[in-house]
Amino acid sequence: MRRLFLLCSLTIPFFCHAQSTAPENILPYVHPIVGTQRMGHTYPGASAPFGMVQLSPDTDTIPYEQNGRYNPDVYKYCAGYQYDDKTIVGFSHTHFSGTGHSDLGDFLLMPTTGELKLNPGVSSQARSGFRSAFSHATEVAEADYYKVRLEDYDILAELTATTRVGFHQYTFPASEQAHIILDLMHGIYNYEDKNVWSFVRVENDTLITGYRQTNGWGRTRTVYFAMTFSKPFYQYGSHSYSRRQVYRGFWGKFDQDHNFPDLAGRQLRMHFDFRTRQGEKIKCKFALSSVSTEGALLNLRMELPGWDFEEARRQGQEAWNAELGKVRIEAGPAEKVNFYTSLYHAFINPTVYMDVDGSYRGLDQLNHKADGFVNYTTFSLWDTHRALHPLFNIVQPRRNMDMIRSMLVHYQQSAEHMLPIWSHYANENWCMSGYHAVSVIADAIVKSDNFSDGNRALDACIATSDHRSFEGLGAYIDKGYIPAGSSGTSVSTTLEYAYDDWCIAQAAKKLGRMDVYATYMKRSENYKNVFDPSIGYMRPRLADGSFRTEFDVLSTNGQGFIEGNAWNYSLYVPHDPTSLITMLGGKKRFVAHLDSLFTMELPDKFFAETEDITRDGIIGNYVHGNEPSHHVAYLYNWTDQPWKTQERVRMILEKQYHPTPDGLGGNDDCGQMSAWYVFTALGFYPVAPGSADYSLGSPAVDKAVIQLDNGKTFTVVAKDQGVKNVYVKKVTLNGQPLNRRVITHSEIMGGGELVFYMSAKH
């Protein structure tokens, strides 16, 4: 490319000349706004691929509690933004994408003019605080770029980000009273005591450093920052909103609220004051670090030394084009938006968690240096082991390997000596069931020819799966199941352990450790121990071996399951569908069970207890917004009616994904929902990560070219596919008929062409 530029640059613009060979700009198909309405829990702001900074508008600061009780409305704000809101509180620097519990929202900046307001105010009352009205008409949300007009102040706010630095550009009106507010109290899932401590130093008239420490989902979480303005403020101030702070050490020595450079406390807000000309841009670069203010400064200086906002945006968007361009598809415009927005949502987490020099804060609260890898955090593994990490295994193998190394250092630093369950920012929050890091590790070991230090990784898997005091594991090891009563999720957790154990066995087999293989293959059959053949469902079982009598196959709550009832979880043996089908009464009965799942009418009372999803997220009793059934539509492939897989997956694609703000029927769950879309649209899906097989479905793109890291390309062609043409007549791989319902990982990585011949009839 550089050579080409040299040849043509003397005469005509590069892009003009190179247009025919330049890859298509993918960014128009990326709509970060998708999923911001209702249950998607995505955020519309700016982020570099897998970036440490997620700089995004927050539309409300709903408290976690009201009148001392959990406030269910807080759930809407897992990502800080709800599309239906009319005001923006400000722009904060960290956000989860698609989670069903939350945290973060660190360091909210808000530009204002006029009378200084240090309280955010309430959305129901105009101008009651520093928040501003806004309209979607002035809002632009692209990959790594966000723009909105703050109507109360006539300020145009623009955001972009490098991996570790948020870049704000605020275009002010003429004002003698222009302010930029730094709110250190603001946070997502913010309850009274969440802020543990904050500390700020005003180093000079353009540079501020500090940190905030919180006790939230991340139990002991500290984020350091360094922020710098393009223009010196002429004065600044702060206010402490702490309930109390006995000794701040002033005794009249200083006026702490004005121009005092040395602040600390639990609840602080600051303001920096400017005078602006009409149309004057004040820019702010805001760098993060998990290690120190020094680390944040280093990130700032190394990643974003200049002040050219447009250039930073251009580079950020170029990086996105490069990442998303790893899969180039031909499809209808709506499908392209769905596809690339999904790929975008898949590529913003896990997030980089180290400074430019490799330093990061570990689980042991010590500072470490990532030695030869990029350290990542935010592992929502109960969700993402299913499709997101397998997707990475194909299109982001290096990052996936680094994520595994990140999990292994987590293991080394963990006081419990366990791999991550659900971890973020050097904390383990233990959310959800199983120990699915072993699935990610096994999937990589099984699919890789050069997984380094596999035995060490396997040892970490074994240690994790042998931690007897972890949720029911002791009993599971002894009895083969978790007794009902000792856990509210005894059945689903037993099933997930069994799948995880099969993963460990697969990795052990690949590594030639056949004793481990034998042990864990045996454990992988434990799913049988919670199956009640008398009713044909998985069912809670008591310590004495009897099944619990009080039991409803449609109920989730307290019935031994989580995010899925017995009807769904009875299908959760991803590692051995054949045996499952036999256990459930053979293929015919199995198909009937599957069919009923998609077609039954779920009584209202069970809908009420279904978590994390809108009514649209439910198809019959199939809940796509929750993950335990993500493999289910592919199970028809093990029956005599594989065409039903093709039909169902297309139906799910169509019903559950839309290129609109409300386009996601349930939480995106750190990209798992999106990764399901990407795989399914490409025509294959990893039913059991840890296996090198992908189950074939029904591609929803005309063509896809996957650029592999090994230099090869793997192309999927779906001849004649369309809304009606969802059935697969024939499949060829590299021109040869593929007479099976799977392709293997090595077939993909070997490059070549997979052609589906589609039809309106099965």
Return all residues near 594 (Cβ < 8 A) that are at least 6 apart.
571, 632, 635, 636, 639, 644
* Under rule CB under 8 A, residue 525 binds its own copies: no
CA–CA dist 681, 198 (Å, integer): 46
- List 259, 519, 707, 713, residue binding its own copies (CB under 8 A): 259
Is 362 near its own copies (CB under 8 A)?
no
88-96, 123-131, 258-266, 691-699 -> range binding its own copies (CB under 8 A): 258-266
The verdict on 487 binding its own copies (CB under 8 A) reads yes
The contact pattern for its own copies, residues 277-306, with x = CB under 8 A and - = no contact, is ---------------xxx------------
What one-character DSSP code corresponds to residue 125?
A: S
431 binding its own copies? (CB under 8 A): yes
- Which residue number, 220 or 707, has a Cβ lying nearer to its own copies? 220
Closest contact distance (angstroms) between CB of 255 and its own copies is: 7
Q: Return the range that interacts with its own copies (CB under 8 A); candidates 247-255, 401-409, 647-655, 707-715.
A: 247-255
* Alpha-carbon distances, residue 320 vs 324, 352, 657 (angstroms): 6, 15, 22
Taking residues 578 to 607 in sequence order and writing x for each that binds its own copies by CB under 8 A, - otherwise, the string is ------------------------------
Yes or no: say if 582 and 590 are a contact pair by the CB < 8 Å rule: no
Choices 141-149, 259-267, 624-632, 726-734 (CB under 8 A): range interacting with its own copies: 259-267
* Piece in contact with its own copies (CB under 8 A), picked from 216-224, 395-403, 513-521, 724-732: 216-224
Binds its own copies by CB under 8 A, chosen from 119, 206, 215, 715: 215
Site map 440..469 versus its own copies, x via CB under 8 A: -----------------------------x
Residue 201 in the binding site for its own copies (CB under 8 A): yes
Reduced to 3 DSSP states, what percent helix, strand and coil does the chain have, rounded to the nearest 5?
Answer: 30, 25, 45
Q: Compute how many residues bind its own copies; rule: CB under 8 A.
A: 59
The DSSP symbol for 754 reads: E
Supply the minimum distance, in Å, between the C-beta of residue 248 and its own copies: 6
Closest approach of Cβ 216 to its own copies, in Å? 6
DSSP β-bridge partners for residue 132: 88
The interface region with its own copies, picked from 272-280, 345-353, 426-434, 694-702 by CB under 8 A, is: 426-434
Cα 658 from chain centroid (whole Å): 18
Number of H helices, E strands in the chain: 20, 39
Q: Name the segment binding its own copies (CB under 8 A); options: 188-196, 277-285, 325-333, 519-527.
A: 188-196
Least separation in angstroms between CB 415 and its own copies: 4
Chain centroid, CA 190 distance in Å: 20
Q: Is 67 in the site for its own copies (CB under 8 A)?
A: no
**Which one of 63, 139, 191, 462 is in contact with its own copies (CB under 8 A)?**
191
Exactly one of 24, 66, 174, 248 binds its own copies (CB under 8 A); that residue is: 248
How near is the Cβ of 197 to its own copies at its closest, in Å? 5
Is residue 213 within the footprint of its own copies (CB under 8 A)? yes
- Asked if 130 contacts 121 with a C-beta cutoff of 8 angstroms, the reply is yes
Q: Is 77 in the site for its own copies (CB under 8 A)?
A: no
Query: Which tokens belong to 524?
Result: 């992988």
366 scored as a contact of its own copies (CB under 8 A): yes
Nearer to its own copies, 293 or 393 (CB): 293
Q: How far apart are CA 361 and CA 423, in angstroms?
A: 13
- Contact call for residue 255 and its own copies (CB under 8 A): yes
* Closer to its own copies by Cβ: residue 232 or 603: 232
Q: Is the dihedral of CA 477, 481, 486, 490 positive or negative?
A: positive
Q: Is 693 in the site for its own copies (CB under 8 A)?
A: no
In the three-class reduction of DSSP (H, G, I as helix; E, B as strand; rest coil), residue 478 is classed as: helix
- Verify binding: residue 257, its own copies, rule CB under 8 A: no
Question: Does the footprint of its own copies cover residue 420 (CB under 8 A)?
Answer: no
Residue 406 binds to its own copies (criterion: CB under 8 A): no
The nearest distance, CB 292 to its own copies, in angstroms, is 6
How many residues are there in the chain? Answer: 762
Q: Which is nearer to its own copies, 355 or 576 (CB)?
A: 355
Distance CA 222, CA 213 (A): 4
Q: How far is CA 447 from CA 390, 392, 420, 549, in A?
A: 10, 12, 21, 43
Does residue 175 touch its own copies according to CB under 8 A? Answer: no
Alpha helices in 609-659 (DSSP H): 642-656
Question: HEC string of 407-467?
Answer: HHHHHHHCCCCCCCCEECCCCECCCCCCCCHHHHHHHHHHHCCCCCCHHHHHHHHHHHHCC
Whether the CA torsion 578, 579, 580, 583 is positive or negative: it is positive
The CA distance from 431 to 381, in Å, is 9
Does 427 bind its own copies (CB under 8 A)? Our answer is yes
Shortest Cβ distance from residue 214 to its own copies (Å)?
Answer: 10
355 binds its own copies (CB under 8 A): no
Binding piece for its own copies, criterion CB under 8 A, among 134-142, 200-208, 457-465, 697-705: 200-208
Rule CB under 8 A: say whether 247 interacts with its own copies.
yes
100 close to 53: Cβ distance less than 8 angstroms: no
Residue 242 class from Cβ within 10 Å (0-12 exposed, 13-18 middle, 19+ buried)? middle
Nearer to its own copies among residue 132 and residue 209 (C-beta):
209
Cβ pair 430, 422 in contact under 8 A: yes
Instruction: Out of 114, 232, 261, 586, name the contact with its own copies by CB under 8 A.
Output: 261
273 binds its own copies (CB under 8 A): no
Please state, in angstroms and rounded to a whole number, the distance separating the CA atoms of residues 622 and 754. Answer: 30
Min separation Cβ 706 and its own copies, Å: 38
Residue 316 and residue 348 in contact, taking contact as beta carbons nearer than 8 Å: no
| Cα 494 to Cα 482, 483, 534, 637, distances in angstroms | 6, 9, 19, 25
Dist. CA 317–CA 574, nearest whole Å: 38
**Complex with its own copies: residue 134 or 425, whichever CB lies closer:** 425
* Half-sphere exposure of residue 157: CA atoms within 13 angstroms, side-chain side: 33
202 touches its own copies (CB under 8 A): yes
- CA of 484: how far to CAs of 567, 570, 573, in Å? 18, 16, 19
**Residue 3, interface with its own copies (CB under 8 A)?**
no
> Which of 137, 246, 478, 601: binder of its own copies (CB under 8 A)?
246
Among 325, 332, 358, 488, binds its own copies (CB under 8 A): 488
ω into residue 261 within 30 of 0, thus cis?
no
C-alpha span between 462 and 459 (Å, rounded): 5
Shortest distance in whole angstroms from residue 524 CB to its own copies: 22
Whole-angstrom distance, CA of residue 381 vs CA of residue 97: 14
Least separation in angstroms between residue 405's CB and its own copies is 21
Q: Is 194 in the site for its own copies (CB under 8 A)?
A: yes
Residue in 700, 27, 656 with CA at minimum distance from that of residue 332: 700
243 lies in the site for its own copies, by CB under 8 A: yes
Nearer to its own copies, 173 or 474 (CB): 474
Residue with Cβ nearer its own copies (368 or 630): 368
Cβ neighbours of residue 103 closer than 8 Å, sequence gap 6 or more? 96, 187, 188, 189, 214, 216, 217, 218, 221, 424
71 near its own copies, rule: CB under 8 A: no
Binding site for its own copies (CB under 8 A): 64, 191-194, 196-197, 199, 201-203, 211, 213, 215-217, 219-220, 243-255, 259-262, 264-266, 292-294, 364-367, 414-416, 421, 427-431, 469-471, 487-488
